[in-house]
Amino acid sequence: MPFPLFLFLFFIFATVSTALPYGISYHIDCGSPTNTTDSFNTTWLSDRFFTGGTTGIVSEPLHFHHQHEKTLRLFPISSGKKNCYSIPSLPSSRYLIRTFVVYDNYDGKSHPPSFDVSVSGTVVFSWRSPWPQSLSRNGAYSDLFASFRDEALICFYSFATDPPVISSLELFAVDPASYDSASIANNDTILVNYGRLSCGSNQWGPGFTNDDDRFGRSWQSDSDHRTGKNKVVAVSTRSSIAGTDQKPNYFPTKLYQTAATTAETAEEGGGVLEYELNVDAKLDYLVWLHFAEIEDKVKKAGERVFDVFINGDNLTRVDIYKQVGNLAAFTWHHMVKNLSSSVLSLKLVGVVGAPIICGIENYALVPDDPSTVPQQVVAMKALKDSLRVPERMGWNGDPCAPTNWDAWEGVTCRMSKDNSALVISQIDLGSQGLKGFISEQISLLSDLVSLNLSSNSLVGEVPSGLGQKSLIHLDLSNNQLTGSIPDSIASSSLQLVLLNGNLLEGQVPDELYSIGVHGGAIEYVTLI
């Protein structure tokens, strides 16, 4: 599904606070051969964890303020249509992933590329050429929350011959219970950021200012998203705010020390704050609103009351003082479904006094796409190594996911019988110049129906693991396989077995003869 990237134009210099509560963070300077330390004392790691590609640099380096915005990793078609960053050995938890992508005519072709970006096999960002000029020149930060178990897999899929590009990649561990994860599909949902606004404030946060956010979030000014005719007034306080910086979301104190309100009150015929956020109408959204009573003129409950409307629906009435008192954080969130427009509207309407708001967050709820059964991923990675599959075939990431893209070249997938995951059903790598051997891990492909590795230069023995009951067609002809034919491949399901053109020896298992007797086909040379 497409995600218009102009929604994520947060021109911030993303890095991370040193106060992360979960202690795990990576800051990868894509395309850089060395580690660097920025002005916020954050160490950016040299490029690593990638599957292929090459490096580049923006055409106007002086236009960018930080080193990690100037370098690029690009994935030309010679590296295959699918390439990934795979960050290994992560504790099972929830993480924030942030990317910075820029083109800046690094190749002199004035043609920004079209490509998709996926996380764990689910497409989350889509870049489509032509990019808006400001986006192409300045780049964009995009972020999301997702859960990983051991490995974070961020993959790039090229259209035609366009090479995907990335300038930096960051990962931060967050509380597994953050953003009400228990109520959104048991954590099987990715939260893609469609807006994180600090009301009445300029952009701020780790990497843009020295202000901390324990989750590494950066906050954009709300000014570009305000609509309506009421005059908006920015208010602020230096006082501490109760209830901030706490589990599971660790919302920063600074967020609640500024706010937007209106000059007009309800009694004066005004008292309305309005915002618009661009969205993809095919998705559901999780909206978080942040409030604090930071004006001295409100001294008791009932002196500031306002209604919250989203897309015209009156959803709740807010009296901050009644809820939490003075100088204390109050949050409210709501799931928005069944959108009919590409704009999500938020309106705060004063009932008593003027409305006030400190922050707005909007996240698309992107359901996880099915992924390949883990054991079969293990098997396919082992085959990639043992068969010496060339880089041009793009055997990277999940073999089958995302489902809106083709599987690995030469691989056919289908849904499992219980519709819970994807499985490998066919492998067709005939005449691909392979020079390795067939890994025993192929036994883990329990749904494999057809295997064709003919007319390569494979050596070693026919693995005993080729005994899947699912296997119907087997073509290993015209290689350099040695040893005997294992009894295990004499599956009752086999209808075609081609072993000719090898250096096999010994006896043919009796069960293989029955294939021809029952209408199937078997072909092999006389064994030594």
Say yes or no: 200 and 130 in one domain: no
For residue 320, give the DSSP letter: H
Say yes or no: 355 and 207 in one domain: yes
For 446-476, the pLDDT digits (tens) are 999 999 999 999 999 999 888 888 999 999 9
Phi, psi of 406 (to 5 degrees): -65, 150
Average pLDDT over every residue of 122-147: 94
- Look at residue 528 and tell me whether its pLDDT is greater than 60: no
For residue 204, give the DSSP letter: B
| Three-class DSSP category at 176 | coil
Range of the domain at 278: 193-367
| Percent of the chain scoring above 70 in pLDDT | 91
CATH number of residue 259's parent domain? 2.60.120.260
Helix then strand then coil, in percent of the chain rounded to 5, is 15, 35, 50
Instruction: Please count the other Cβ atoms lying within 10 Å of the Cβ belonging to residue 333.
Output: 14
C-alpha span between 36 and 407 (Å, rounded):
37
Strands 122-127 and 359-367: unpaired
Pseudo-torsion of CA 461, 464, 470, 476, nearest 10°? 10
| Three-class DSSP category at 112 | coil
- Look at residue 12 and tell me whether its pLDDT is greater than 50: no
Strand order across the 313-318 sheet: 226-227, 272-278, 343-352, 305-310, 313-318
How would you classify residue 103: left for phi > 0, otherwise alpha for psi between -120 and 50, otherwise beta? alpha
Of the three residues 367, 402, 433, the one that is the final residue of a domain is 367
Say yes or no: 426 and 280 in one domain: no
209 band by pLDDT with thresholds 50, 70 and 90? confident
- Look at residue 317 and tell me whether its pLDDT is greater than 70: yes
Q: What is the mean pLDDT of the chain?
A: 89
Q: Domain for residue 4, yes or no?
A: no
Strand order across the 411-415 sheet: 411-415, 422-428, 450-452, 473-475, 496-498, 521-523
Per the listing, tokens 């390569």 go with 456
Lowest mean pLDDT among 254-268, 324-338, 439-453: 254-268
Average pLDDT over every residue of 341-366: 96
Q: Domain for residue 2, yes or no?
A: no
Say yes or no: 221 and 125 in one domain: no
pTM of the model: 0.89
Strands 422-428 and 450-452: parallel
